[in-house]
Amino acid sequence: MREIIKKFPEEIVLKSQKIKAIVVKVEGVLTSSTVQFTGSSYLYTLNLLDNNIVKPLRENDIIMVAITQNVLIDFKHQANELSYDLYQSISHGKANLFNEITADFEVLPEEICFIGNDFMDLPFFKQVGLSICPNDSVEYIRSEVDFVTTAKGGEGVLREIADLILVSQNKINKVITF
């Protein structure tokens, strides 16, 4: 399983060893940057690779937080089922949200991995121990993060980083052993 981390720079592997919480944005990270509008609601598609890794992360003492700019009734149910802690209707003021998350979960900034994809995520990128964005983020976002995934938003971004964290913390065998 160590081959999983070969594609990551050593400094990213070292940072991932300290991670106790992953904060991931729904729009553009867990989903693609496109939505279908059906009149009264949005239609988002979640990747099963991402969904399947959330519970194993939680079982390995990694806090999972999903943040969304909208109130997503259907995602609230999914988040509960997958064991995410969910913060909804977040747009600007993410610096305040960051303080709330560190207090709520009693984690230090360097123990947080944040995965975002747009300009409103810049405050988070600057405060966390490990900042990540999907491959399809705009260039000025890509230049502000520690690592850019090979996956695009909605195509397994969380899974790519979760595998890195689990391997770097020697927890992957607990996940894949049946």
Write down the pLDDT at residue 68: 81
- Mean pLDDT confidence for 4-10: 87
User: Across all residues in the chain, what is the average pLDDT?
Assistant: 85
Helix, strand, coil percent values for the chain (each to nearest 5): 45, 15, 40
Write down the pLDDT at residue 86: 76
Write down the pLDDT at residue 87: 75
List the beta bridge partners of residue 133. 148
Residue located via tokens 């994809």: 117
pLDDT higher than 60, residue 145: yes
pLDDT higher than 90, residue 169: yes
DSSP letters of 82-145?
Answer: HT-EEE-S--S-HHHHHHHHHHHHT--GGGEEEE--SGGGHHHHTTSSEEEE-TTS-HHHHTTS
Q: Which residue, among 83, 48, 31, has the nearest Cα to 62 in the 3D structure?
A: 83
Identify which of 37-41, 48-52, 158-162 has the greatest average pLDDT: 158-162
The pLDDT tens digits of the residues spanning 63-120 come to: 999 888 765 555 655 666 666 777 776 655 566 788 888 999 999 999 999 999 999 8
- Mean pLDDT confidence for 156-166: 95
CB contact set of 41 (below 8 Å; sequence gap of 6+)? 74
Gyration radius of the chain over CA positions: 15
Write down the pLDDT at residue 152: 95
pLDDT higher than 90, residue 172: no
Write down the pLDDT at residue 170: 92
